[in-house]
Structure 1
């Protein structure tokens, strides 16, 4: 398919207008499939620009919260229709900017449409309960109050879905937003904001600002007029967000890393387990917080599973995500590529056996991109770095165990607890897994990477701040309960 060759400068969107940053400084956003191709130019904004965005959001907050939920929802319905009409263009931009395949990018954008429509409907759902009072002549009930101005900080790996699943609930529940995307995916994020603009959202309700995390991200953390922060990214940065927000009394929500296991029990459907392990671990080049990373297999079927897995991995077509036969695209950036390669080297140094892949991929016209071969390690022990730290790349670590009990112990023996899956036909195995696994997302006979938009999403241990995103659970973060007692004079 033909690519869009337009190279544009992405401005900030503040108080309903697209504006240049105060310092007039930009950086190029390049295509990880071909580092010589510039997708767009992204502003390196200043604290002054952030102050303007926060002021706009603060000024718009009172009028926005006074609209009914149905009125706010009407804007989300319009934004959904506009996003849907621009789906192919936004998906193509996503593929060019961060590398995932075009079908995956289309699927993510379609999910953004569905999220907008879901939260548009939230405007008509209940926000409180009537509670019996001990005073028979009084009425007592709860309602919900928005936080006010919410800072939204998002990563590069899902530049449409993650911003929307934060922005949509934030505004439907009456908040206004200052949105800072990752610089690596800001061109795509700007196109999402254009959909909100085209929907006629009142000025200041959604503000968009790009810039370095050390400037704009830290500025959001520290800003006294930002009442809540919702963040998705690494656990190291997430802890900084939480500590900074706590220090000034702001509410915060963190979704961070994962080291997600799949357990393959002796009675599993091996073909199904292999397909799901590959899809869960290697789709999007392994750049998902819920991606399968550790593959814990019972010893009686270990060799058969390994053979089937490697045979399927060898069939994977690596290449430009805009090419129709590509199954796996590049890493998102040179830095991410180098990180993945360094973990592969670490695995070899620790004594894990590299049985497939492990090198930078430069064949078939891929020499200008940030490609890495899909990689499989054998003989991995759970104390190795590649079994403990999040790699965020297409690397699978095979771990042999003698029982389901041992598998659960190994699965839980990491600092993360985001998602986990098991393949088994035994109901007792399923029940034991649900009961004992330390993960916020538990999947049975399905890949670890996946959550439905209407269901709560979040992790345990150091994977999150123990809050939940998406579904109706989102109201718990974006609002506070207000208890009301009414009695006639």
Structure 2
């Protein structure tokens, strides 16, 4: 960057800062936390315009500062999230926060396409939407905001976050930390914004604001349906119910350890985590024995019925019709804590619970988001694949398989059509923990974008120059 560009950026930054100040729309604490959505969006819109006056090189500096700040506060934010929400494990949330900081793609994800020929030059560039309205979950509050912020700003957007109310403090603190990092490198004051008191009303105001150009929802099916009905461009990262299939050719001891590791990671809060096990009967006993060896507690008989009563609630859908839903007070809780509630004292090595059940059992069909892994035995791979497809409910989110038979893996992948398909590893390898590739905590299955990154948050712009600049 030459000296003239540097001086121009300083001048623009000073001018916009004065505009923000004189307009009376500056955020109360200068770090993006607002009393109302309207003010947040207005400031985010001004900040986005300022962001676009900076070079791509300077934008990358902001991203670097955000990564450094997220890494420096990874442990603090993990502890804060567990304390505030009562969900998950601090050690695992630290891993997720660091993962978001290190493996979320930045400006390098933006690629320009060019076409040349007899009639000139055409380029297609990735341009920002403008202001993005982002709804974030209680399950991964800090990690999702870190991940979204890096990708969305790298793409040239500003963001207004509406976090889950039960993760309010952690979410607001994350936004504050990232904003401080951006400002420290001379960036816009309110490129990241949020609401002091998140609520359903705030979500509706965010969706309806005319200056919000793109909505991104990370959460359950209800919030995804809401953004898809908004009339705006929307990216929805909805629920999953990932099955793991184990066939007779698998390395059973490794499969058992991987399943326990993946299924108990952050107490099963990640939407990619193993939610049920479908195993060919001939290796079921061996798998179960090895799971117990690696930290799973086997529960059956009267204790299984006690567990069902504890973690499931029957919800009336309509007169004469009901369905089971998970009891919220046990979502993301430690396995030992859950076991204690039904009178079982387990050793410190216990991280998960494995239950032998039938295919139609609610533990199999309902996404519990608890370290409870139902295990279903089937006769062969054909039954395993058919049941796994049924269990996944067409979410097209994540599936896992342990097998050494390439034909089996191919058949399962084609049948289940999930966004992420992990083979012979814990589920979290699918987002870059112990596996290759970038990470994201916004996995857009319902709307088809898949694992989101900076390029996801752009729109294509085509520039055509006819009969010129062709040098061949």
Instruction: Confirm or deny that 1:283 pairs with 2:270.
Output: no
What secondary structure sits across from 2:94 in the alignment? Answer: helix
> Cα–Cα, structure 1 residues 312 and 92, in superposed 2: closer, same or farther, change >3 Å?
same
Indicate which of 206, 210, 214 corresponds to 2:200: 214
Q: For the Cα contact (< 8 Å) 2:97–2:146, is it kept in 1?
A: no
Aligned to 1:424: 403
What secondary structure sits across from 1:208 in the alignment? Answer: strand
Indicate which of 96, 100, 104 corresponds to 2:88: 100
> Tell me, which stretches of 5 or more residues in structure 1 are unaligned?
1-13, 22-42, 317-336, 348-355, 367-371
Q: For the Cα contact (< 8 Å) 1:61–1:148, is it kept in 2?
A: yes
> Cα–Cα, structure 1 residues 223 and 360, in superposed 2: closer, same or farther, change >3 Å?
farther
Count of aligned positions: 403
Aligned to 1:148: 130
Q: For the Cα contact (< 8 Å) 2:263–2:274, is it kept in 1?
A: yes
> Cα–Cα, structure 1 residues 295 and 479, in superposed 2: closer, same or farther, change >3 Å?
same
- Which structure is higher in helix share? 2
CA–CA distance in 1 between the matches of 2:399 and 2:45? 40
What secondary structure sits across from 1:361 in the alignment? Answer: helix
Q: For the Cα contact (< 8 Å) 2:93–2:266, is it kept in 1?
A: no
CA–CA distance in 2 between the matches of 1:432 and 1:253? 29
> Cα–Cα, structure 1 residues 196 and 458, in superposed 2: closer, same or farther, change >3 Å?
closer
Aligned to 2:366: 389
Aligned to 1:329: none
Which structure 2 residues correspond to residues 305-454 of structure 1 after superposition, within 5 A? 305-310=287-292, 312-314=294-296, 340-342=311-313, 361-362=340-341, 374-381=352-359, 383-413=360-390, 414-450=393-429, 451-452=431-432, 454=438
TM-superposition CA deviations, 1:261-289 (whole Å, max 9, x none)? 11111121111111122122222222121
Q: For the Cα contact (< 8 Å) 2:100–2:439, is it kept in 1?
A: no
> Cα–Cα, structure 1 residues 269 and 50, in superposed 2: closer, same or farther, change >3 Å?
same
Question: Could you tell me how far 1:72 is from its partner in structure 2?
Answer: 0.9
> Tell me, which stretches of 5 or more residues in structure 2 are unaligned?
1-24, 299-307, 316-322, 326-334
What secondary structure sits across from 1:392 in the alignment? Answer: coil
Indicate which of 64, 72, 76 corresponds to 1:89: 76
Question: Could you tell me how far 1:359 is from its partner in structure 2?
Answer: 5.3
CA–CA distance in 2 between the matches of 1:171 and 1:425? 42
Which structure 2 residues correspond to residues 90-239 of structure 1 after superposition, within 5 A? 90-98=77-85, 99-115=87-103, 118-119=105-106, 121-122=107-108, 127-133=111-117, 135=119, 138-199=120-181, 200=183, 201-239=187-225
Indicate which of 24, 29, 35 corresponds to 1:18: 29
Which structure 2 residues correspond to residues 43-62 of structure 1 after superposition, within 5 A? 49-62=36-49
> Cα–Cα, structure 1 residues 384 and 235, in superposed 2: closer, same or farther, change >3 Å?
same
Question: Could you tell me how far 1:235 is from its partner in structure 2?
Answer: 1.0
Question: Could you tell me how far 1:218 is from its partner in structure 2?
Answer: 1.7
Q: For the Cα contact (< 8 Å) 1:152–1:167, is it kept in 2?
A: no
CA–CA distance in 1 between the matches of 2:77 and 2:382? 46
Question: Could you tell me how far 1:146 is from its partner in structure 2?
Answer: 0.8
What secondary structure sits across from 2:450 in the alignment? Answer: coil
CA–CA distance in 1 between the matches of 2:257 and 2:220? 28
CA–CA distance in 2 between the matches of 1:194 and 1:79? 11
CA–CA distance in 1 between the matches of 2:233 and 2:38? 19
What secondary structure sits across from 1:397 in the alignment? Answer: strand
Question: Could you tell me how far 1:390 is from its partner in structure 2?
Answer: 1.8
What secondary structure sits across from 2:29 in the alignment? Answer: strand
Aligned to 1:274: 256
Q: For the Cα contact (< 8 Å) 2:128–2:156, is it kept in 1?
A: yes
Question: Could you tell me how far 1:178 is from its partner in structure 2?
Answer: 0.5
Normalization by structure 1: what TM-score? 0.74
Q: For the Cα contact (< 8 Å) 1:165–1:470, is it kept in 2?
A: no
What secondary structure sits across from 1:415 in the alignment? Answer: coil
Aligned to 1:35: none
> Cα–Cα, structure 1 residues 75 and 397, in superposed 2: closer, same or farther, change >3 Å?
same
> Cα–Cα, structure 1 residues 296 and 343, in superposed 2: closer, same or farther, change >3 Å?
farther
Question: Could you tell me how far 1:464 is from its partner in structure 2?
Answer: 2.2
Question: Could you tell me how far 1:52 is from its partner in structure 2?
Answer: 0.3
Instruction: Confirm or deny that 1:259 pairs with 2:241.
Output: yes
Aligned to 1:479: 458
